Amino acid sequence: MPGFRDGETWTVGAVILDGQGRAFAQRRGPHRKLFPDCWDIVGGHVEPGESLLEALVREVAEETGWRARRVRRLLGVSTWTGGDGVTRQEADYLVEVDGDLTAPALEWPEHTAYAWFGPDDLPLLKENRQPGEYLIHDLIARALHSAPPV
């Protein structure tokens, strides 16, 4: 489990798979400061006093209305710097959820669409991203190729 150091900004991400082995992604709104109009996984910033897993559970509920049932595993930790100049540590997990997977409760207008991505759909995750900004594509590709069905 990753640990916190003073001055670090942490985020968490959840790769959620459906029963057909596809990964959930949502399109960020066009007016978002970071990665506008790009596909993204469920996740967000870790609030003061939260653990990574507490933040993960909260973000899943806030962004989809689903309930995190089980964290299957840590997919990886990465470091990235957004267009705002802030460097973040990101812990991404493979997560099982309870809820109606056909009707996520998106946070409008933070997110404007959602889709389920299988291996053949992966190139779509690069839309509106610059080379070197393929974290979401690469993360979902790794999860799809290494995760047994839910």
Give the gyration radius of the chain's Cα atoms. Answer: 14
pLDDT tens for 99-131 read 999 999 999 999 999 999 999 999 999 999 988
Task: Give the integer Cα–Cα distance in Å for 140 and 121.
Answer: 11
Domains of the chain: 9-145 (3.90.79.10)
- What's the pLDDT score for residue 5? 75
- Name which of 1, 129, 135 is nearest 78 in CA terms: 135
Q: What angle do CA 66, 38, 149 make, to 5 degrees?
A: 45
Dihedral (C-alpha) 96, 143, 74, 16: value to the nearest 10 degrees?
A: -30
Q: What is the mean pLDDT of the chain?
A: 93
> What pTM was computed for the model?
0.92
Task: Give the integer Cα–Cα distance in Å for 138 and 113.
Answer: 20
Can you say whether residue 106 is alpha, beta or left, with left for phi > 0 and alpha for psi between -120 and 50 degrees? beta
pLDDT grade, residue 146 (50/70/90)?
confident
Alpha carbon separation from 43 to 13, 24, 36, 61, 120 (Å, rounded): 4, 12, 15, 10, 24
